[in-house]
Amino acid sequence: MRTPTIAAAAAAAALGLALTACGSGSGSAAGGDGDTLVVGATAVPAGEVLTYIQDHLAADAGLKLEIREFTDYVLPNTALQEGSLDANLYQNQPYLDDFNASKGTDLVPVVQAYLPPMGVYSKKTDDVTKLADGATVAVPNDTTNEGRALKLLAAKGVITLKDGAGTDASPRDITANPKHLRFKELEAAQLPRSLDDVAAAVINNNYAQDAGLSPTRDAILLESARDNPYANILAVKRGNEDDPRVRKLVKLLGSADVKKFIEEKYQGSVLPAGSG
């Protein structure tokens, strides 16, 4: 199974939200005073960017912000759809489109926040083109991130994908595999832990950084920023795009202060929106 089901995720939703909540106050999404914007995020970089805004910019902008951190890619969207969140920040447009199509959700983007390049990591080689014949490469098991991983390998010539293979490319779309690589599909959060067991793993930026990996120093292959469609977006449930609290956060995410924070903190491992 390539994507976790909502049924499986929902069983842990209440506990997950309770254990990962952080920030101050109780927001409207949680039945609070209606003034606080409750935003779901993965810890890095989304949670860090939002925490910077919360600590340094939100008060002057008249924004009360609560941040809830998640460790997976499903619950932040189901919580947003169900009303436990007012917005979330962690995903790219292709992932959101696929999620809406497959889960029947009605979530929309409001602004691009930053680009977190995906990378290939390995404890066995420092060059992806030198992977051994028959080596196993771990890739994310959700549709769009698996396609993204395969496109990254194809861009380096490690594999060839059929003409027209899109963001939902899968191993079935590989037309040439000269090294006879085998692909192991894992939940994205598990990929860093797979590095001892596979020749290489294609890891999403946030999970790489959570595991102490630096995309700019440790990745043996890193996505280019040029024409990259995978910028992370602030998303809301349709109809809430013009919520005044959301518009305040949109303005702050695009501010020079946030751009400087991203550039100085991540040193190229995360790029401000529009860097490509």
Inform me whether the pLDDT recorded for 244 exceeds 80: yes
Q: Residue 55 and residue 229: Cα distance in Å, rounded?
A: 30
125 and 207 in one domain?
A: yes
Find the range with the poorest average confidence among 1-5, 173-177, 227-231. 1-5
Q: Is residue 1 part of a domain?
A: no
Residue 257 structural domain: 6-117+229-272
For residues 260 and 34, which has the higher predicted lDDT (pLDDT)? 260
Number of structural domains the chain divides into: 2
Q: Residue 246 and residue 22: Cα distance in Å, rounded?
A: 19
143 and 94 in one domain?
A: no
235 and 106 in one domain?
A: yes
253 and 171 in one domain?
A: no
Inform me whether the pLDDT recorded for 11 exceeds 80: no
DSSP tally for the chain: helices H, then strands E: 10, 14
Share the mean pLDDT of the chain. 90
Give the tens place of pLDDT for each residue, 96-121. Answer: 999 999 999 999 999 999 999 999 99
Residue 247 sits in a domain of what CATH number?
A: 3.40.190.10
CB contact set of 260 (below 8 Å; sequence gap of 6+): none
Q: Is residue 41 part of a domain?
A: yes
Q: Residue 82 and residue 84: Cα distance in Å, rounded?
A: 6
101 and 24 in one domain?
A: yes
Taking the model in full, what pTM does it have?
0.87
91 and 57 in one domain?
A: yes
> What would the mean pLDDT of 128-144 be, rounded to a whole number?
97
Both tokens assigned to 167: 């963001």
181 and 83 in one domain?
A: no
Residue tagged 């999970």 (tokens): 207
The answer to whether the Cα torsion of 96, 99, 102, 108 is positive or negative is negative
Q: Which residues pair with 161 in a beta bridge?
A: 174
Q: Are residues 107 and 77 in contact, defined by beta-carbon separation less than 8 angstroms?
A: yes
Residue tagged 């009360």 (tokens): 64
Inform me whether the pLDDT recorded for 58 exceeds 90: yes
127 and 110 in one domain?
A: no
198 and 247 in one domain?
A: no
> How would residue 6 be classed by pLDDT, with cut points 50, 70 and 90?
very low
Residue 235 backbone phi and psi in degrees, to 5? -120, 150
DSSP annotation of 185: E
258 and 197 in one domain?
A: no
**Per-residue pLDDT, 159:** 98
**Per-residue pLDDT, 276:** 67
Q: Residue 130 and residue 114: Cα distance in Å, rounded?
A: 31
- Which residue, 202, 222, 242, sits at the end of a domain? 222
208 and 152 in one domain?
A: yes
89 and 70 in one domain?
A: yes
> How would residue 274 be classed by pLDDT, with cut points 50, 70 and 90?
confident
DSSP annotation of 44: I
Q: Is residue 113 part of a domain?
A: yes
**Per-residue pLDDT, 29:** 73
